[in-house]
Each structure stands twice: as structure tokens, then as C-alpha cells.
Structure 1
Amino acid sequence: MDFNNPQNAFNLKPQDFGKDFVFGVSTAAYQIEGAHAIHDKGVSIWDQFTSKKGNIFNNQHGQIACDFYNKFEEDILLMKSMNIKHFRFSLAWSRIIPNGTGVVSSEGIAFYNRVINFCIACGITPWVTVYHWDLPQALQNQGGWVNREVLQWFENYTRVCATHFGDRVKHWMVLNEPMVFTGAGYFLGVHAPGNKGLKNFLPAVHHAVLCQAIGGRMLRDLVPDAQIGSTFSCSEITPYSQAARDVLAAKKANALLNRLFIEPLLGLGYPTKHVPVLKRIEAYIKPDDLKKAVFDFDFIGVQNYTREVVKHSYFVPYLRARIVKASKRNVKTTLMDWEVYPPSIYNMIAHFNEYKGVKKIIITENGAAFTDKLVSGEVNDTERLQYLQSHIAQVQKAKAEGLNVAGYFAWTFTDNFEWAEGYHPRFGLVYTDFSTQQRIVKASGKWYKDFLGS
């Protein structure tokens, strides 16, 4: 079979992946919930970041987003009607503990109890992410991820989550894409909290590495029968040419983007050989930190959307490497200017399978944004449909070849707030009319429903 041909995906059925393989959808609290100031919810760094002009496309924000806070029953019933049996969502730290530490919000706990209970009543398994980028602003005022006290803050927050929800939630993810929230938020400054430079990035990285293990241990202690993981953004890295300096640039980019968080987790330390500037992280490492960074997760969440082509660049500090934009390479792209390259997801499954300490891989995010048009009450998103088919086929190829992949979650259920890009890119299987909050299942969503129902 030619797994690069998306038409082959029409021939696949869920049972082709094995009886224990799971299919679902993924979301994140700030991107869908809205209700930003209801009851006693505290301010998050994304509430703060979006309040400043120029940070977000068209100065948009997530104050209402998809209004999931008020519409969760409607959305979960829609999932049920679409044969979706696994729902990944995150908990908003500032909704549960408004000031980050101290008093726990009874209203916040009650909301997530309602969501979890309704999922279970509808036959949908909740998969909960503890942290998906929305740090309480009160903690950011004390340095956020740069402050080593975040280790205690995060341990306490995870304890609260596990204590209140662990009796029903048996699938947990500790962090979502730590490379993104540290890189974009504490080095480039394009995501909340908008900080820049190595002096912010390196301590944030080290503290996030420690917290992914701290969260895992806390969940293991309090929810011993749970499946516990953490998720990593990753992209296949290809050198622009076979010139030695481009090949080296690709190795550097791969070490930074794909290895920085998984390797200390597995006891391999930081990948300083290919990114020497990372040696400066030693200034933040205390005795036994690298031992404490290790945790035996039940699964690793792999989140893949594209591949990146990298070439040498003298002008990029520290790395001497830069990504060549997909739009400059005459390839098919998404609205995000990401190359549509299905083999990337197979290659990343293979990459993470090479680590001896990885027990199981689950694709916890995969999807694409295209220009969706609502015509006569329908959205015929053929490009997204083909994208999903071709990527799911690559996952099945990996499974058929014996690679240890056990699940696939599409990003995302409904169109939502896409961080710095605002509401412009639509990733959803379901179209959201943000003026009316009407949901309309797209052609891709109808296909996913039929695929899961088959």
C-alpha cells in the first residue's frame, strides 16, 4: 500500500489499528472556555497578554472564545453524536486556584466536576491535561517559570487536581508542549507572558523539565491506577541541502525542538553536544536535579503538524540555523504556512520509539488550518479531510510495522482561539460562528464521525 496516498485512508477502519487503539479530539481551556472573569476565576498570563494591543492578531482575545464554560453539555453531546469517545481537555490553573497558590475555588472545582461527570455519562473518556500554558498572572508577577518556586507551586496545583478529579479521571497529561510555552513565551516573547532572552528561557526550561517529573510523581501517588503521560511538540527536521553546514544546522534544530525535554526525562541529560549554548543551563541546576527530572511515564504524547527544513544561518545567534518557510519551498501549505507532509508523523513516531524509556506513544495532537468557507450552512473543507486521512494512514503504517503507537487525537474539536493568531486560523472539525456560537459540523467532522462509526 502507498501510505502517502490519502485516498488509501478511506479503506482504513478503527479496527485496523487494534482493539485497544483510541481515537479522540483535543482542546485547551483558554482556547475554548471563555468566562474569563466569572465567579472567582483569577487572571491568567493569557488574559494579561491579550489585553495589550499588538500582541494578538486584530487584538483578539479569549474572553468568550467558544463559550465552552456555558456550552459544554451541548459540545459533549455533539461529540457523542460524532462517535467521539475520548476527549482531551485541560484544566485552567487560575480557575482552580485563582492566585496560583492558596485558596482553591469551589466554583472552579465544580465546573470541572460537571464536565468530567457529563463526559462519563455520555460514554466519553476524559483525558486531562494539567497545564496547557495558562499560568496564573499572580505567579508570573513573581517570575513565573523563571522562579524556582514554580516547583512547589506546580506540585501543589497538581495535588489539588489529582485529589479532586482522580477518582474519575484515569488518563492524565502533565504538561502540554513545554518547548512551545518556554520558547515562545520566555525566549521569543510572541506568546504569554511575552518575555525574551536566554536569561528567561534557560531557567524556564529547567523548571519545566523538573515539573513534568514532579507532576508525574504526584499523579502516580494520588491516582495509582491512572495512565500518566506528558506531551511534546515535534517536527521532522530536514536539512535544506546535504552541505555539511546545513546538515549540522538540522542536527542543532532537532536537538532544540525534539530532544530538549524528552531526554532529561529519560535520564539522558540535556542535548548540549549539538546546542552548546545549553551548557549555560548548568547555572540553574542544583544537586540531584537531573535525577529528579527522571520519571517513568506510561505514555508520551507526540504532537505533530508538519516538518521543518533547516539551513545554516550565520545571523541567527546561538544556533546558527534557521527554518526555511514552507511558502518559499514550492510545497503545499496550510493557512499557518506549514508544509503538508504526512510522512513527518510516521517519522516522529519512529524517532520516539528509538528511546528505550518510552513505553507507549499517543498522538495527542494533529490537525491543520485552512480557509474554511460557510456556504449554505455547510463547510466543505476537503483539504483538511485529506490532511487527516493521509496522516491517520501514516499512523496506521507505523502501527502495522510494529511501532508502539496507541492513539490518535485530532486537533481540534471546534474552531477556537489560536493564541497569537487569534481566530483567523480554523483547525476545528466543527465550525464555530463566533458571533452566534453556533456549531456546524464540517465535511472533515462528518468523515471523522463515519470513520469512527465504521
Structure 2
Amino acid sequence: MNFPENFVWGVAAAAYQIEGAAYDEGKGLSVWDMFCRKPGAVWNGHTGDVACDHYHRYQEDVALMKELGLPAYRLSVSWPRVLPQGVGAVNEKGLDFYDRLIDELLAANITPYVTLFHWDYPLELFRRGGWLNPDSPEWFADYTRLMVERLSDRVRHWMTYNEPRVFVGLGHEIGRHAPGLQFGLPDVLQMCHHVMLSHGRGVQTIRAYSKTPSQVGCVVTTGFQQMPATNRPEDIEAAREAMFSISTPNCFHTALWLDPILLGRYPDTAYSTYGDAMPVIHDGDLATMHQPLDFIGLNIYFGEQYAAGSDGRPEKVPFPAGHPQTAFRWFVTPEALYWGPKFVYERYGVPVMITENGLSNLDWVSTDGKVHDPQRIDFLRRYLIELRRACADGVDVRGYFQWSILDNFEWAEGYKERFGLVHVDYQTQKRTPKDSAFWYKSIIASNGRALDEI
């Protein structure tokens, strides 16, 4: 079996990571604009002030996407670019940018997939309590309505959030990402609750105000994707249990996020593990979170192995010395793109999209003027073969978005990591498609059949 004939192939990027123009044309500040000014917060003091300058170079970038035969592009909107205070007065120049970008994509026959929030939270709303404020779901609903009323005559594919457990967990529990805080567990879980309410209100708003029939989803990361160390049934069950149980008191568990929005309830292990730290749940909250979704987006980069221990409980199995790693020091685990979609689809029965997958590689422009990245080609081929296997086993996988179209600002790692299919010289902003970009073009053109060519 190959990929389904209507399979969606694309690339992904995020506003703060590529747009730049951080202070241009009325844009408000985000928590990342603030965080990048904190000494030591971002590698080498890098910021997203300029990034890939996509705000001014979007036409060039869309032309590149067209040249590479990309059918779909997953982008995000900068909330403070269109609402500088997060709510209230609208920045028309910011809205105009997204109008032009969407029109440019459609003129190139590239379908836009719009993520409403990819981490650049408005600084003014943060100063009002951010995700701890019980009004935050309505703030997000108001922002969603603005974007849907503006773009839904042309945009038919929406995602509410990108990786909520990362922007809550790394931003507010560990403090490694913006806004760089470390709250106690009760506050962190209350934020999680408000984010899920925001997601639900966002979905309701898209359904109510969209001018065209829309597909709506939410993007989560399966984190350190749990997968079995062997194909023994007991190890498969151990990996599944490890993925969906809540065994430690933090906000990084898959089921903490997916059970409320896809099943309408918190998992039992949330109550037993979190105890008194559980958030305040008002009547109707879980129903608001649990809105019908057309797909669930999964961002999967690597996995961890689990096996059944002597007591039958899941035990993490370390990789052997010398196991392949990316430049980011993430283990290369192609099977993660089989087990992640399989486990999620079996538990929730909702179609899956891989909304991010890729690797950081040590890329530079060679003396021949090209960028040779055979490791990325090998990596993507291995992972896509595993995703195809998931399709063959009956998992309803609707699409795959490679991360990322451009090398870009990799959050707290600054410009150290290069994830792009296209190399960016940050001093000159010159774009150079890598070998992997042309390879991916062949994969798309053949709907995956070229994976079998060595």
C-alpha cells in the first residue's frame, strides 16, 4: 500500500520563527520579544527581530515553495501583529500582511493551513495574568473571530494551538522558554485548563463564523514518543500505557491534553497523580473543551523505548551507545512515526495529520554553491517509510508537513539549529534550497512512491 491518493504533502513554519519585523507597522510585543532581551535566555543572545525577514520576503518564499512543488503550507498568525494589545484595537497593516500572504499562496496553488497560536503570546495579555486569567479563553475566542472573519473566505483549514504542553510546560513550569517562569503545579494545571477551554472556544468560533466549510484541528506534540522496545505484545502494551498514563506531577503528559479535548474528560491517572493540584473545573468546562475535530495534528521528532518490566509495568529502555543522533542530539527513531499515529488513532479514533517532522542538521553552503544534506534525506526517508506503514495498518493519516521550509529561529537555541529544506544566510537573507528540498519534491510528485528508490 502507498499513501492515500488524497494525502496532503506540505511544509510548516511559525510566525515568530521566520517573520522578523518585530517592531514594524504597528505590531505589538510578544512574550518572546521580551524573553529574547533576558540575558542568557537565548543562545548567543539571538532574537527573532529579523529572523528570515519573511514579512518583507514572503513573495520570494512562496515562489520557492511553488518551485519545489509544495501543495500545502502550514503557517501561523502572530497574535500581537494583528491585535497589538491582544484584544481591542486592530492593526490593519498586520491583517493586510496575512491577506497578501494567503492570496500569494493561493495564486501559487498552495493550500494554506493556518495555526492561530504558535507561542508568540501578546505581552500585554501576559501582563494581565496570561493563561492564569480566567478571561483568557474569551481573549482567544475574540482573536479567533477576527482572523476567521478576515480569512475564512479563502482559508478552509484551521488549527487552534501548536504544542500547548510545550508553551505551558517550558514557558511556565520549567522556565526554559518564554515567558521564562516557574509556577507551582496547581497554577500550571490551571493554565492547562484555561488553554483547553480556549481551544474549545476557538473551535466554536471557527464553526460559527467561517464563511466557507472548514476543517478544524489542534496540534499537539507526543513529546518523547513512547514506542515498544520489541514487537512482543507485552512491550507494545507497556509503551501504550507509558504514553497515556500520568505518572509524574508535571504537564507534559499526552493524555492530560488529548483526553479532555477528544474524550471530554481528564484521565483517571490525572486525579490520582495530581491530587489537590487539579484545576478548578466548572460545570460545562469539559463540554466546551470537547468540540468535534476533523483531525488531530501530531508533531513527532523522536521516541523513547519502553518494555514491560518484571512486574508488568512500563520500563524505559535506553538506546545503546552510539545510537544515531541529530545535530540537536535527538535520537533518530523512525518507528516513532509509526507508533505515535497508531497509538493516538487507536485510542481516539480521530484522523491524524503529521504537522511537524524533521531534523536539525549541520548544513552549510558548499564551494559549489549548493547545500548537500544527505543525512536529512536519509532521515526523512526512514521516517516516511514508517508513516506509510502506519497507513497500511489502517491508521487514518491525512497528511504530512515537514519542519521546516526555511532554516529559522529555533526558540531558546537561537539560530544554532538548522531544520530547513532551504538554507538561509542570516546576514544576506539569501535562500539556497538544499538537496533535500529537491528530493522532497520528488516524493511529493510521486505521492511517496519515490521512497522506494535508493
Aligned pairs, number: 428
Partner residue in 1 for 2:449: none
C-alpha contact 2:203 2:291 (8 A) present in aligned 1? yes
The superposition leaves residues 261-313 of structure 1 with CA deviations (integer Å, 9 ceiling, x where unpaired) of 110012342234167343445442222211221111011111100003579xx
> Does residue 69 of structure 2 align to residue 83 of structure 1?
yes
Distance 1:347 1:323 in 2: 16
> Does residue 365 of structure 2 align to residue 374 of structure 1?
yes
- The code of the aligned residue for 1:259 comes to A
**What is the CA distance between 1:213 and its match in structure 2?**
1.2
Partner residue in 2 for 1:296: 292
Assess, with a 3 A threshold, how the Cα gap between structure 1 residues 422 and 19 changes in structure 2: closer, same or farther: same
**What is the CA distance between 1:204 and its match in structure 2?**
1.2
Assess, with a 3 A threshold, how the Cα gap between structure 1 residues 322 and 59 changes in structure 2: closer, same or farther: farther
Partner residue in 1 for 2:255: 259
Alignment of 1:138-217 (within 5 A): 138-196=124-182, 197-217=184-204
Alignment of 1:218-367 (within 5 A): 218-223=205-210, 225-234=213-222, 235-237=224-226, 251-252=245-246, 256-273=252-269, 276-309=272-305, 329-358=321-350, 360-367=351-358
- The code of the aligned residue for 1:124 comes to I
Distance 2:247 2:107 in 1: 45
- The code of the aligned residue for 1:109 comes to L
> Structure 1 vs Structure 2: percent identity of aligned residues?
38
Partner residue in 2 for 1:410: 402
Distance 2:150 2:300 in 1: 31
Distance 1:89 1:384 in 2: 22
Partner residue in 2 for 1:432: 424
- The code of the aligned residue for 1:368 comes to L
Distance 2:78 2:190 in 1: 23
The superposition leaves residues 76-109 of structure 1 with CA deviations (integer Å, 9 ceiling, x where unpaired) of 0000000001011000000010000100110011
**What is the CA distance between 1:200 and its match in structure 2?**
3.4
Assess, with a 3 A threshold, how the Cα gap between structure 1 residues 271 and 166 changes in structure 2: closer, same or farther: same
- The code of the aligned residue for 2:11 comes to V
Farther-moved stretch of structure 1 (428-437 vs 278-287): 278-287
The superposition leaves residues 47-97 of structure 1 with CA deviations (integer Å, 9 ceiling, x where unpaired) of 000111110011111000000000000000000000001011000000010
**What is the CA distance between 1:371 and its match in structure 2?**
1.2
Partner residue in 2 for 1:62: 48
Farther-moved stretch of structure 1 (22-31 vs 197-206): 197-206
> Does residue 438 of structure 2 align to residue 452 of structure 1?
no
C-alpha contact 1:325 1:337 (8 A) present in aligned 2? no
Mark the runs of 5 or more structure 1 residues left unpaired by the alignment: 1-11, 312-320
| Equivalent position SS for 2:109 | coil
Distance 2:63 2:81 in 1: 24
**What is the CA distance between 1:152 and its match in structure 2?**
1.1
- The code of the aligned residue for 1:120 comes to L
| Equivalent position SS for 2:25 | coil
Q: Select which of 35, 40, 43 maps to 2:21.
A: 35
The superposition leaves residues 188-229 of structure 1 with CA deviations (integer Å, 9 ceiling, x where unpaired) of 010111111314311111111111111111101112501111
- The code of the aligned residue for 1:379 comes to V
**What is the CA distance between 1:36 and its match in structure 2?**
0.2
Distance 2:247 2:40 in 1: 29
C-alpha contact 1:21 1:406 (8 A) present in aligned 2? yes
C-alpha contact 1:411 1:427 (8 A) present in aligned 2? yes
Taking only aligned residues, the RMSD between alpha carbons, in angstroms, comes to 2.5
Assess, with a 3 A threshold, how the Cα gap between structure 1 residues 199 and 322 changes in structure 2: closer, same or farther: farther
Farther-moved stretch of structure 1 (285-294 vs 271-280): 271-280
- The code of the aligned residue for 1:436 comes to T
- The code of the aligned residue for 1:278 comes to Y
Farther-moved stretch of structure 1 (328-337 vs 213-222): 328-337
- The code of the aligned residue for 2:352 comes to I
Q: Select which of 99, 112, 125 maps to 2:85.
A: 99
Mark the runs of 5 or more structure 2 residues left unpaired by the alignment: 308-313, 447-454
**What is the CA distance between 1:238 and its match in structure 2?**
5.1
Assess, with a 3 A threshold, how the Cα gap between structure 1 residues 336 and 310 changes in structure 2: closer, same or farther: farther
C-alpha contact 1:266 1:357 (8 A) present in aligned 2? no
| Equivalent position SS for 1:363 | strand
**What is the CA distance between 1:382 and its match in structure 2?**
0.9
Partner residue in 2 for 1:9: none
**What is the CA distance between 1:131 and its match in structure 2?**
0.5
C-alpha contact 2:219 2:297 (8 A) present in aligned 1? yes
Alignment of 1:383-422 (within 5 A): 383-422=375-414
| Equivalent position SS for 1:284 | coil
Partner residue in 2 for 1:423: 415
Partner residue in 1 for 2:450: none
Distance 1:440 1:325 in 2: 38
Using structure 2 for the length normalisation, give the TM-score. 0.89
Distance 1:401 1:357 in 2: 14
- The code of the aligned residue for 2:396 comes to N
C-alpha contact 1:116 1:126 (8 A) present in aligned 2? yes
Using structure 1 for the length normalisation, give the TM-score. 0.89
C-alpha contact 1:414 1:432 (8 A) present in aligned 2? yes
Distance 1:237 1:398 in 2: 15
